[in-house]
Chains A and B, each alone.
Chain A
Amino acid sequence: MTDKTDVWQGTLSLMVLKTLDTMGPLHGYGIARRIEQISGDLLSVNYGTLYPSLLKLEQEGYVTSEWGVSDNNRRAKYYRLTRTGRKQLEKEAEQWGQATAILARFLSPEEKPI
């Protein structure tokens, strides 16, 4: 259980950072919906788990937050990617790319020996 949440926390942070990178400042609900859209319905997790993650990213200095007003005139807390957050996103994205490439090669059908 714990392992699974740890992985989830890690990937979730990355997704949050990426979302903020493409969409610009956004509130928690918006981030959650966006992640859901992109991932299709493959990831069906409670939206609520997003908030501790956002707090962690904020404590680490990757995002900042401030209160604002949404399109529908609702008060909402907007999160914005910081410069270090962007750097972190690039770093993590690269690491993910490498990791998935390695795994993909591992899991693909065996190639002919050279």
Chain B
Amino acid sequence: MRRLRAWLLRFSGMFQRRRRDQDLTEELEGHLRMHIDDNLRTGMTPEEARRHALIRLGGIESIKEDYRDRRGLPLLEGLVRDLRFAFRTLRRNPGFSLIVIITLALGIGANAAIFSAVYGVLLRPLPYQDGGQLVVLHQQAPAAHLSNVPFSVPEIFDYRQYSHTLNAVVEYHSMDFLLLGNDSAERVKSGIVSANFFDALGVRPLLGRTFVAADDSPNADAVIVLSYQYWQRHEGGEANIVGRVYQMNDRPHTVIGVLPPIPQYPEENDIYLPTSACPFRSSPKVIADRSMRMMTAFGRIKPGIPLASAQADLAVVANQMANQHPDSYPKEYGYALAADPLKQDLTRHARTTLLVLLGAAGFVLLIACANVANLQLARLLTRGRELAVRAALGASRARIIRQLLTETILLSFTGGALGLALAYPTLTLLVRFAARFTTRAAEVRIDPMVLVFTLAVSVISGLVFGLVPALSLGSRVSDALKQDSGQTTSSSGRQRLRTGLVLMQVAVSFILLIGAGLMIRSFLRLEQVDPGFNPDHVLVLNLSPNYSRFPKDEQQAETLLLGDNVLRALRSLAAVESVGMTSTFPLGQGTMARGPDSNRFQIEGRVVSQGELQPFTDATGVSPGYFETIRQPLMRGRMFSERDDGKAPNVAIINQTMVRHRWPAQDPIGKRISFDGGKTWITIVGIVGDAREYGLDHAIGDEVYVPMKQAGFSGGLVVRTAIDPEQMVSLVRKTIHDVDSQIAVDQVDTLERLRHESVASSRVTAILLGIFAGLALLISVSGIAGIMALSVSQRTRELGIRMALGQPKPSVVFMVVRQGLVIAMAGTVLGLAGAGALGRLLSSLLYETSPTDVLTFVAVSLIFVAVAALSCFVPAHRVTRIDPFAALRQE
């Protein structure tokens, strides 16, 4: 408190300096007079009295100086003075200042933008109460290569009951339901959750309430909670929404609450229902069947319990379950339970990419700083005399360095502010980019943390590019005074420093170029992957008929009939070449999320021995016309026809990979497989080409296709059109609704766009790295050019003499160019070493591209050397304009 008061007084002491100085002078004069009076009284002569008094007082000027320092805040006063001076100096050199500010703005802006993504996704605490205590449970079967087996209801009940370290175990799964309006139907994505879901996550409703235990019981009225987004979009943010009734699944559902606008986990849903309101989840079979696994489970660790203890505790429960129910946990699968922090789980896919990008942005800034440091060094050469005069007038080396640092930090702050302004508009793009990896992307924004980061980066870069040149000032700055006017020579030490800085820039930008080159090559590989079907001119969309309209036992037949009618109506359209239906779209979001190998099967006549794994495959139900529509080629046998219906024998078509895996030396046609332990057998009638349904970078697995009329209806529709499929959307929609107005149509897309989208993250990563590498190259090239130009202007006399003595011009030019090329080459060699290390970091992001891909390395090196040579040649060319005689006379 007392301190603060003193500081405030000192702050105010910075003002009214003249009056206060006068005050002190008067006080000291009074002091002297009184002392002289006393001395005279002791009998001294007047001169002696005065001399004695002055000596005892001490140096008046130094007292005044001490007094002033104590009175104000010398550091702050100095800073204000330095800032004023720096501002004047920089304004006198607008070209230099502008280049520095722009270079830094690009570097700092890139870092601020990427950091805001890194912070929002990886670092920021989850927007839940004590989000650090939330864990995601995963069942794993390592022996069967399954890392994320969903949970069944009995399993979730067991974990809830027997774990000692979890406060709560919540269950979640998502389903699509049809919301019926007066004469329309709309599909809503519904999160089906246990009653404790929102409480465990610590989410408080914006309106109304969330679920309580009573809502989640078999006889409870069906209630729903709306997501903020759905409430805004479909109800216009209606304030009196609580109590509204929706017709869904053949029963009324009452809205009890609205969620706040926070990102939803694990996925974005339109509405939420308690498990008892889901017709599927509440069926006795699902509740009782331990092997009916389709839920996600989260837990909240009790306060104070470390993650490891919770993991150990859950492992014990898993073990007990496996012992009690050996049928549901076959020994050969090696079932185990893993619990990961929710945050880690949500951001797993984004981590490497974001960190690589942050590293790249950091490199760009490093290069920018090195470049600016070099500019500053060059400028110090011409300012040598100014600094020398200051030194000669008594400024200490530290004082001069402080002045120089004030200038650079002023520059870096301006650059930082501009950088932030540049980063802001790129944020929406970054959010869209990050959304491909994690739902946390919605939390990316410029917030105080990002501002602090930008500020810190600005200060650090100002210090880096200011301190390096400033420290290079010799301890005897005043030596510069002895030099000729205008003639600026530099010590070999400073020359080495400049060369070193350029070398570093060259090496780092080479590393970045290699990184970008590898990503681009990987992306091109991915683009060239043959998906095994032709996505061009194919419209895809999802149909959801109103199942509840049909009696339960006729649902199957009615929906299949409806599907037939839709197909027939679409086929009759002129611009439609062919149509088909499927249970999953290739490269569709749902397909990619589910992944392959979801069904166990057995092959007739092959006995699986004890302890051996049963084979897995994926099974897709498709209608006749599906393969033709997406142009997945038939290799052998036959396609499905209209005759392959529920009354006909069960048949299947398999892909070539499955043939290679299961029947390498036999003809699979006519062989039989079973998905239900041998109760029904399915005969293989055809073989189709491999299609990459789970992502172009995904290895192809075994695939079984069965006729939709034998597998059951599902609403994935594919339409091959003669014209641009985008133009067909409204006609197709209308045709479907002409068949039945209660069919909801959504997920409308083109297959080509799905393909495009499936490689988008790879493309954007490559583009971003490419931009960073391009920036780095540009900055380094200007660095090389700068050092060359400086060297030429310093050597004008020497070069003039050489030419006067008869050295041919091309030879002189070559001599100069060689100097720059040597730096570029040395930097490239250094960069090669660094690129090896970067490649290892990148390898998880690369598709079928070795981190030491020879073509990339050779191509990048060639481009790099060519650009470097060009940047050397342009300034070196100025040599040819030197007039030898003028150069000689120059002094």
Contact = CB atoms under 8 A, between A and B. Distances in A.
Interface of A: 27-30, 32-33, 46-49, 51-52, 55-56, 59-61, 70, 72, 74-77, 84
B57 A76 contact: no
Contacts of B35: 29, 47
24 contacts: A27-B30, A29-B35, A32-B31, A33-B38, A46-B57, A47-B31, A47-B56, A47-B57, A47-B58, A48-B57, A48-B62, A49-B58, A49-B63, A51-B28, A52-B67, A52-B69, A56-B6, A59-B6, A59-B9, A59-B70, A60-B2, A70-B34, A72-B37, A74-B37
A46 B57 CA distance: 5
A52 B57 contact: no
Interface in B23-57: 23-24, 26-28, 30-31, 33-35, 37-38, 56-57
Given A46-B57, A47-B57, A52-B66, A75 B26 contact: yes
B226 to A, nearest CB: 62
B58 A46 contact: yes
Contacts of A60: 2, 5-6
A77 to B, nearest CB: 5
B63 A29 contact: no
B40 to A, nearest CB: 11
B2 A48 contact: no
B71 interface: yes
Contacts of B67: 51-52, 55
Nearest to B13: A59
B59 A48 contact: yes
A77 B25 CA distance: 11
A45 B791 CA distance: 58
Interface string B578-604: 000000000000000000000000000
B60 interface: yes
A49 B71 CA distance: 14
Given A33-B38, A49-B66, A51-B67, 13 more contacts: A27-B34, A30-B34, A46-B56, A48-B57, A49-B58, A51-B24, A52-B66, A52-B67, A52-B70, A56-B70, A59-B6, A60-B6, A84-B2
A8 to B, nearest CB: 12
Contact of A61 (B2, B62, B63): B2
B724 to A, nearest CB: 80
Contact of A52 (B23, B37, B60, B63): B63
Contacts of B59: 46, 48
Contacts of B31: 27-29, 32, 47, 76
Interface string B391-408: 000000000000000000
Contact of A76 (B30, B66, B71): B30
Nearest to B30: A76
Contacts of A48: 28, 57-60, 62-63
Interface in B5-24: 5-6, 9-10, 23-24
Q: Which of B6, B26, B34, B67 neighbours the largest number of chain A CB atoms within 10 Å of its CB?
A: B34
A59 to B, nearest CB: 4
Contacts of B70: 52, 55-56, 59
A74 B24 contact: no
Interface string B201-240: 0000000000000000000000000000000000000000
A77 B58 contact: no
Contacts of A33: 38
A33 B56 CA distance: 11
Contacts of A27: 30-31, 34
In the complex, the 5 A-B pairs of residues with the closest C-beta atoms, listed nearest first: A46-B58, A48-B58, A48-B63, A59-B6, A52-B70
A75 B30 contact: yes
A87 to B, nearest CB: 11
Contacts of B38: 33
Contacts of B57: 46-48
B5 to A, nearest CB: 6
B24 A29 contact: no
B63 A51 contact: yes
A51 B65 CA distance: 11
A74 B30 CA distance: 7
Contact of A72 (B2, B5, B34): B34
Interface string B844-885: 000000000000000000000000000000000000000000
B632 to A, nearest CB: 84
B34 to A, nearest CB: 5
A79 to B, nearest CB: 10
Nearest to B37: A72
Contacts of A75: 26, 30
B5 A29 contact: no
A42 to B, nearest CB: 15
B181 to A, nearest CB: 76
A69 B10 CA distance: 27
A18 B26 CA distance: 25
A63 B513 CA distance: 68
Nearest to A53: B70
Contact of B27 (A32, A59, A76, A84): A76
Given A48-B59, A55-B67, A59-B10, A28 B5 contact: no
A49 B62 CA distance: 9
A28 B27 contact: yes
A48 B38 CA distance: 17
A55 B6 CA distance: 10
Contacts of A84: 2
Nearest to A72: B37
Nearest to B68: A52
A17 to B, nearest CB: 14
B73 to A, nearest CB: 12
Nearest to B23: A77
Contacts of B5: 59-61
Nearest to A56: B70
Contacts of A56: 6, 70
A46 B58 CA distance: 5
A58 to B, nearest CB: 8
Contact of A55 (B2, B58, B62, B71): B71
B359 to A, nearest CB: 44
Nearest to A62: B2
Interface in B361-405: none
A33 B26 CA distance: 19
A55 B66 CA distance: 10
Contacts of A76: 27, 30-31, 34
Nearest to A88: B2
Contacts of B27: 28, 51, 76-77
Contacts of B30: 27, 29, 70, 74-77
A32 B31 CA distance: 10
A29 B28 CA distance: 9
A70 B23 CA distance: 17
A56 B2 CA distance: 11
A33 B38 CA distance: 11
A52 B30 CA distance: 16
B34 A29 contact: yes
Nearest to B20: A55
Query: Counting chain A CB atoms within 10 Å of each CB, which of B9, B10, B27, B69 scores highest?
Result: B27
B15 to A, nearest CB: 15
A76 to B, nearest CB: 4
Q: Which of B9, B30, B58, B69 has the most CB of A within 10 A?
A: B30
A64 to B, nearest CB: 12
Listed residue (A32, A52, A61) with the most chain B CB atoms within 10 angstroms of its CB: A52
B103 to A, nearest CB: 41
A63 to B, nearest CB: 13
Given A59-B6, A61-B5, A74 B34 contact: yes
Contacts of A59: 5-6, 9-10, 70
A30 B10 CA distance: 26
Nearest to B9: A59
Nearest to A33: B38
A85 B93 CA distance: 54
Contacts of A70: 30, 34
